[in-house]
Amino acid sequence: VAAIQYRKALELDRNVAAAHAGLSMVQEMRGKLSDAREEAEIAARSDASYRQAAERLAGLRNNIEM
């Protein structure tokens, strides 16, 4: 359900960093780390001041590289 809501938000505005970060979290919980990282990267690019996006991206990079 959460993924649907994040996608709906992104249909309205593709640059909402919080929606990309939220979708990243959902993808990570589903075990789709590559997709999660991609969404976190988009979130970080969308809003460089959005600290949660940078933190998610750093955490995902560490998890994928292990």
Of 62 and 56, the one with more pLDDT: 56
Give me the mean pLDDT over the 22-43 stretch. 95
Alpha helices in 1-66 (DSSP H): 2-12, 17-29, 33-46, 51-65
Would the pLDDT of 65 be above 80? no
CA atoms within 13 A on the CB side of 17: 16
Would the pLDDT of 64 be above 70? no
Q: Among 29-33, 36-40, 42-46, 57-61, where is mean pLDDT lowest?
A: 57-61
Predicted pLDDT of residue 61:
85
